[in-house]
């Protein structure tokens, strides 16, 4: 399995602390080497205590460990919540013999509930003892909430003859409409790259991956994406935007897109992945917003669940997000042209409905306006989504 321990010099572990009703719920990632680090976080003005603390600790561009709990978001928990987030970092630092400010923290679960800090502190020594190069799987399981399966990914490239590896894991499932940030996601790499460039690459590549997915249009208070680079690949330090940087950034995009697609496919109650591509848009912003709007529409998500090629909903969705010329727009569903020259194309609805039974349903929208393009990903809307979210806590 590829994942966060695939790059050289990264260890991980996962354990049950007893925060969730059952299953693993506490994870740790660490490197024996102080790493360059960066993060992107939720834009929600309500930020969870661990988000605020990690942002502070990341200011120097370094980190050596990340501790994560599931089962409790530690958000909207007042002063107490802030203290608990700090106590998690302090305890990890003590166990690993590193500086408290080099430990990052992330939490996910119900908003507004008190974190059982006693259970967390009690479990942390065993969690630290369990760190191993094979611990990636357990860690990827310990960060899940309503997810049905772990999401991990890995990419390997060569930079100046050196093998450079990137590994990642993520959790998602609900409250997913990130802006400039994402869910909980962790990337490790042995690449030798400066902190500022690491941050630049992370921000740029988040735009076209995590920021182009939606599950339900709500933005979490806990969204965090972390990256640590420990330099163990021993490639010459990447300190400028040259060929090596673009190689690395390309690999990062591949990794993030892989995780993003896994996230939507495991969206709450989802049975199918929706991929919407808008081409020949006036601006990149327009292409991004329209492709994302299509994948976020309840009506379109429901019609994908029902395998109904009701393309009028796609036209209405793009029309409400920009100025488009109805007579020029062309729309394809699963490769079949359904709309052009301002009206319906004669297609076989039964044949197309059958094609929409695939695990992946693609929409292609040509605006015939400019040269910009973007892709977005979402999932279908199912009765199961409603059931999950009607009784998430009870």
Nearer to a second copy by Cβ, of 287 and 318: the residue is: 318
Cβ(43)–Cβ(203) below 8 Å? no
Count of Cβ atoms closer than 10 Å to residue 335 Cβ: 9
The helix/strand/coil state of 288 is: helix
For residue 362, give the H/E element and its range: strand 360-366
Complex with a second copy: residue 48 or 201, whichever CB lies closer = 48
Nearer of residues 242 and 394 to a second copy, judged by Cβ: 394
Q: Least distance in Å: CB of 385 to a second copy? A: 7
Measured over the CA atoms of residue 13, residue 15, residue 59 and residue 207, the dihedral's sign is positive
Closest to 166 in 3D by CA, of 190, 201, 132, 194? 190
How far apart (Å, rounded) are the C-alpha atoms in residues 90 and 111? 23
Helix, strand or coil for residue 108? strand
Tokens representing 103 are 């430990």
Residues lying near a second copy in the complex (CB under 8 A) = 43-46, 73, 75-81, 110-113, 174-175, 179, 216-221, 296-299, 302-303, 305-308, 310-313, 315-320, 322-324, 326-327, 339, 341-344, 349, 353, 381-383, 385-394
The answer to whether 103 touches 91, Cβ cutoff 8 Å, is: no
Look at the block and give the residue holding tokens 């490197």. 31
Q: 330 near 279, Cβ under 8 Å?
A: no
What minimum distance in Å lies between the beta carbon of 326 and a second copy? 5
At 93 the three-state DSSP class reads helix
- Rounded to a whole number of angstroms, the minimum distance from the CB of residue 324 to a second copy is 5
Concerning whether 182 is annotated as a catalytic residue, the answer is yes
Specify the residue, 125 or 342, whose C-beta has the smaller distance to a second copy: 342
Q: In this structure, are residues 226 and 104 in contact, taking their beta carbons and an 8 Å threshold? A: yes
Query: Whole-number minimum distance, CB 390 to a second copy, in Å?
Result: 3
- Virtual torsion, Cα 296, 298, 300, 301, nearest 10 deg: 80
Q: What is the CA radius of gyration of the chain?
A: 22
Q: Please, what is the minimum distance in Å from the beta carbon of residue 108 to a second copy?
A: 12
Q: Which is nearer to a second copy, 100 or 326 (CB)?
A: 326
Comparison of 92 and 314: residue with beta carbon closer to a second copy: 314
Task: Exactly one of 2, 145, 182, 257 is catalytic; name it.
Answer: 182
What CA–CA distances, in Å, run from 343 to 307, 326, 334, 338?
21, 9, 18, 9
User: Minimum Å distance from CB 314 to a second copy?
Assistant: 9
Catalytic residue ranges: 182
């Amino acid at each position: 399995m590829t994942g966060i321990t695939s790059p050289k010099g990264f260890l991980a572990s996962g354990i049950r602390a007893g925060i969730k009703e059952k299953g693993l719920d506490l994870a740790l990632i660490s490197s024996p080497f102080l790493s360059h680090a960066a993060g992107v976080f939720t834009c929600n003005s309500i930020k969870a205590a661990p988000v605020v603390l990690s942002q502070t600790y990341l200011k120097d561009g370094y980190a050596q460990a990340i501790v994560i709990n599931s089962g409790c978001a530690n958000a909207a928990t007042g002063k107490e919540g802030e203290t608990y987030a700090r106590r998690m970092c302090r305890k990890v630092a003590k166990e690993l013999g590193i500086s408290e400010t080099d430990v990052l923290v992330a939490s996910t679960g119900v908003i507004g509930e008190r974190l059982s800090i006693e259970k967390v502190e009690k479990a942390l020594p065993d969690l630290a003892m369990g760190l191993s190069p094979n611990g990636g799987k357990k860690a990827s399981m310990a960060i899940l909430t309503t997810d049905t399966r772990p999401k991990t990914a890995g990419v390997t490239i060569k930079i100046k003859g050196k093998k450079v590896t990137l590994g990642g894991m993520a959790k998602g499932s609900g409250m997913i409409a990130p802006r400039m940030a994402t869910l909980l996601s962790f990337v490790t790499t042995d690449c030798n790259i400066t902190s500022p460039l690491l941050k630049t690459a992370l921000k740029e590549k988040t735009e076209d991956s995590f920021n182009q997915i939606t599950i339900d249009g709500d933005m979490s208070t806990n969204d965090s994406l972390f990256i640590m680079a420990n330099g163990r690949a021993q490639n010459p330090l990447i300190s400028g935007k040259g060929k090596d940087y673009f190689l690395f950034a390309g690999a990062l995009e591949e990794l993030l897109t892989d995780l993003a697609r896994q996230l939507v496919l495991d969206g709450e109650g989802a049975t199918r992945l929706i991929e919407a591509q808008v081409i020949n848009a006036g601006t990149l912003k327009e292409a991004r917003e329209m492709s994302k709007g299509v994948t976020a529409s309840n009506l379109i998500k429901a019609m994908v669940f029902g395998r109904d090629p009701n393309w009028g909903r796609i036209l209405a969705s793009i029309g409400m997000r920009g100025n488009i010329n109805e007579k020029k727009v062309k729309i394809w569903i699963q490769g079949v042209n359904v709309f052009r020259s301002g009206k319906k194309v004669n297609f076989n609805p039964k044949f197309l409905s059958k094609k929409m039974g695939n695990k992946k349903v693609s929409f292609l929208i040509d605006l015939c306006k400019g040269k910009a393009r973007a892709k977005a990903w979402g999932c279908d809307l199912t009765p199961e989504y409603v059931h999950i979210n009607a009784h998430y806590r009870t």
